[in-house]
Amino acid sequence: MEALAQFLNTMRWQDLLDIALASYILFRFYALFRGTFVFRVVTGLVFLWLFGRMAVFLGLIVTSWAIQAITAVAAFIIIVVFRHEIRSVLQAKNIKSILWGFSPKTSKTPIEIISSSAFELTRNHIGALMVFPGEDNLEEIIQKGIPWEGKISSEMILSIFWHGNPVHDGAIIISGDRILEVGAVLPLSRRKDLPSYFGTRHRAAAGLAESSDALVLVVSEERESIMVAKGSDLIEIPNVESLVRLIREHSGETESSPSNEVPQRVRMVAAALVSVMLVAGIWFSFTRGRDTIIALEMPIEYMNRKPKMEIIEASANIVRLQLSGSVTLIKNVRPEQVQVRLDLSDGVVGKNVYTIANKDVSLPPGIDLIAVKPQTIELTLDVFTRKRLPVQIDWVGKLDNGLRLESARINPKAIEVEGSSLILRDMSTIYTQQVPLENLRETGTINIGIALGAAALKTAPGSQGRVAVEYVIRRR
């Protein structure tokens, strides 16, 4: 008990939030996609992934390779194959229902009314064509009928297909508890294998079923029979119960009954609990596994450098980080997830000493920093500046003993130099390149370049890199 309390004490509030959020996401995924193929396929993929881990553990080379390849493209497969289901969840529901709503898939379509009405039509020798759309968009397949938007009732269905009604020959489109359209024209099937006694209604039902995932119900006035077209099948329906079952299967709806409500709630609570347990289990296995230490060498990133401030010298550009965490988390640490950033906003020109603290190291969640080497970084910061410096000639060699170099005039006397303020701060003169005295015999003029000793120095734009020297030589 004490150990449990001690263990729980090590948890941060972020960890609890982490588990709660992940559990809720998992639970919402179940609530939104339960009963659909997406949920089943994702569940299957989870098992596939677990199987793959086992295969890796057991050293099954080809099996693990194949499963890894499948699971790697699983997300892509889910998005492509189940785009309709995903779209219907994301589009049909508002944000509130996605985040909170429990939309149990109880039957909204009055399937019993429709089914009994269909059999009522056969008894009255009235033909009918009813379309129950699936996920496919039918707008491009059927010729649009007359908008109706009427709530389904037995009387309405009978009156629409009554012989005296101008739209009785067309199909009705049913969605939920509404008849959306009446008098819709369906594409006729071109199949040659349909029985000869099939009339236009049957061919229209077969035509739409072939080219979409819709279910089409045909009531034949001559043969007093009911058939359902789905895909390439045309099934004769013997009774109301069979029809109810077929339509229900097509719409993916469950029977709504008060007795169903309680198990539904129980299922959701159970799903919520399972989500929490599953996520908590994964979380603990990830974060509280065997503690491991690794060392990473990371480059230091310098942030918030003042404008024009340059780094002249750094005692180190790479630091060695010692990180600890569970085996799973440590194994998944990628270098791009780890950053060492030093804030230079308070840097001044000259030498600055920075100590790398925890706040300067960005790590993935669950990974702790144990040590940094070196922990202090010495940076020499500088700004580039300009300074006007007088020019002095750098005479070298030996002048003939009989001569005396009396004076020299330089033009220009000073030039503007650009470079590190630290270097320029201590400079009061810029020198020319060396001028050998051996060649000088009499008064004259020479043109000589400026010697910019430090690499970080250059003559400022507009300033000349050479000077003219007029010198005067006298005989002794």
Partner 1 sequence: MARIVALILGVVLTGVAGLWAADSGTVEEPSEQPILVHAVMCESIEEQTPKNETIIFSVSARDATCFTYFNPVPKNTLVYHNWYRQDRLSVKVKLRLRSPSWSTFSRHRIRASDKGPWRVEVTGEDGTIYAVLRFSITD
3-state secondary structure of 53: helix
Instruction: Give helix 74-81 / helix 83-92 axis angle, nearest 10°.
Output: 70
Taking the C-alpha atoms of residue 385 and residue 308, their distance in angstroms, rounded to an integer, is: 9
Tell whether omega for the bond before 166 is within 30 degrees of 0, i.e. cis: no
- Per-residue binding letters, 111-150, with partner 1 (x by CB under 8 A): ----------------------------------------
Residue list 369-398, contact with partner 1 (CB under 8 A): 390, 392-398
Task: Indicate the residue among 267 and 404 with the shorter CB distance to partner 1.
Answer: 404
Question: 3-class DSSP state for residue 113?
Answer: helix
Tokens encoding 90: 């994301």
Map tokens 């979380």 to a residue.
283
Q: How far apart are alpha carbons 325 and 368 in whole angstroms?
A: 6
Q: Decide whether 298 or 408 has the Cβ nearer to partner 1.
A: 408
Shortest Å distance, C-beta 361 to partner 1: 43
User: How many residues bind partner 1, per CB under 8 A?
Assistant: 21
Q: How far apart are CA 360 and CA 368, in angstroms?
A: 13
What separation in angstroms does the CA of 425 have from each of 107, 350, 421? Answer: 85, 11, 6
The distance of closest approach from Cβ of residue 450 to partner 1 in the complex, given in angstroms and rounded to an integer, is 13
CB of 407 to partner 1, least distance (A): 6
In the complex with partner 1, the residue whose CB is nearer, 245 or 386, is 386
- Bridge partner residues of 321 (DSSP): 296, 372
**325's tokens:** 């965490």
* Shorter beta-carbon distance to partner 1: residue 265 or 413: 413
Residues 400-439: x/- map of binding to partner 1 (CB under 8 A)?
A: ----xxxxx-----------------xxxx-x-----x--
Residue 404: CB minimum distance to partner 1, A: 5
The least distance separating partner 1 from the CB of residue 463, rounded to whole angstroms, comes to 20
Instruction: Give whichever of 200 and 407 is closer to partner 1, judged by the CB atom.
Output: 407
Q: What residues between 176 and 215 interact with partner 1 by CB under 8 A?
A: none
In angstroms, what is the minimal distance from the CB of 399 to partner 1?
6
336 binds partner 1 (CB under 8 A): no
Q: Provide the token pair at 37.
A: 């193929």
Q: Cβ closer to partner 1: 155 or 426?
A: 426
Length of the chain: 476
* 193 vs 426 by CB, closer to partner 1: 426
Let me know if 31 is exposed, middle or buried by CB neighbors in 10 A (0-12, 13-18, 19+). Answer: buried
Which residues make up the interface to partner 1 (CB under 8 A)?
A: 390, 392-399, 404-408, 426-429, 431, 437, 476
